[in-house]
Amino acid sequence: MTLAIIGGTGLTQIEQLNITGQRELETPFGAPSAPYVLGELNGQSLIFLARHGNPHRIPPHKINYRANIWGLKQLGATEIIGVAAVGGIGAEMGPARIAIPEQLIDYSYGREHSFFADDLAHVTHIDFTEPYTPSLRRRIVQAAASAGIEVYDGGVYGCTQGPRLETVAEIKRMANDGCDLVGMTGMPEAALARELEIPYANISVVANWAAGIGEGEITMAEIEKNLLTGMSNAIALLQATVLSATGG
């Protein structure tokens, strides 16, 4: 079993992680965001990918999601956890909170969102009733409970286009649609993993209240402060998830 983790470069700061190398790949869909970092923890093979590149330079709507996921498949990834900074909409989704969403709504547009697009012998549809693999979600939630890490089990992730943040009216619409979280990278990442039959789940780290939910303007200083705590807990959660799978 090989777990792939997609997120920021800081996610390789897992305690006891042994980095074993890097791999640069070219896929039928072009180059991934960055070289894949290979590692091992407690006998578990891990692959890390910096979604926005290393250094962080690729905006959400320009990420080559197809190359990223295809490359993970090439490297033998058997499950994927996507870690993402998000805005909080629901009352339970305050800054620095971690949520493990169970549903999503896609508001993005113009992205290459399927491997089944050109030169097809037949049209392919995937079942996406549950966009996040239930068994992988449960393992993350159970690992959090065992490690004493507080997470919100559930919620709806709304994926917007970016790179700008949303307006108050847009967030009101999303709230009316049932969204609890707002991010910019959750799709088509989740759907592409499903197309390649790789189990996928999301760890959302709330960086700020979404527009109109909190008071005043959203600042990068506020986001960075909340992410220090939230991402630290996310790294601990990833370690706990790996150890729970390996019996460590």
Structure tokens belonging to residue 84 = 């993402």
3-state secondary structure of 82: strand
Separation between Cα atoms, residue 45 and residue 215, nearest integer Å: 43
Residue 241 is labelled as binding a ligand:
no
pLDDT tens string for the chain (248 positions)? 899 999 986 788 888 889 999 999 999 999 999 999 999 998 889 999 999 998 889 999 999 999 999 999 999 999 999 999 999 999 999 999 999 999 999 999 999 999 887 776 667 788 999 999 999 999 999 999 999 999 999 999 999 999 999 999 999 999 999 999 999 999 999 999 999 999 999 999 999 999 999 877 777 788 888 888 889 899 999 999 998 876 66
Separation between Cα atoms, residue 93 and residue 101, nearest integer Å: 11
Give the pLDDT of residue 112.
Answer: 94
Separation between Cα atoms, residue 194 and residue 29, nearest integer Å: 17
Give the pLDDT of residue 214.
Answer: 81
At position 37, the amino acid (one-letter code) is V
Give the pLDDT of residue 86.
Answer: 96
The position carrying tokens 């050109």 is: 118
Burial track 62-92 (b if 16+ CB lie within 10 A, e otherwise): ebbbbbbbbbbbebebebbbbbbbbbbbbee
CA atoms within 13 A on the CB side of 7: 23
Class of domain 2-114+130-246: alpha beta
Give the pLDDT of residue 14.
Answer: 83
pTM: 0.94
Give the pLDDT of residue 60.
Answer: 96
Give the pLDDT of residue 247.
Answer: 63
Residue 184 is labelled as binding a ligand:
yes
Give the pLDDT of residue 52.
Answer: 94
Main-chain phi, psi angles of 187, to 5 degrees:
-130, 140
Residue 174 is labelled as binding a ligand:
no
Residue 164 is labelled as binding a ligand:
no
Residues 6+ apart with CB under 8 A from 217: none
Separation between Cα atoms, residue 227 and residue 222, nearest integer Å: 9
Domain boundaries, the chain: 2-114+130-246
Residue 52 is labelled as binding a ligand:
yes
Give the pLDDT of residue 43.
Answer: 87
Give the pLDDT of residue 197.
Answer: 96
Q: Which residues pair with 86 in a beta bridge?
A: 206
Residue pair 157/186 in contact by the 8 Å Cβ criterion = yes
- Could you tell me the sign of the dihedral formed by the alpha carbons of 106, 110, 115, 119, in that order? positive
Pairing of strands 98-100, 79-88: unpaired
Give the pLDDT of residue 240.
Answer: 94
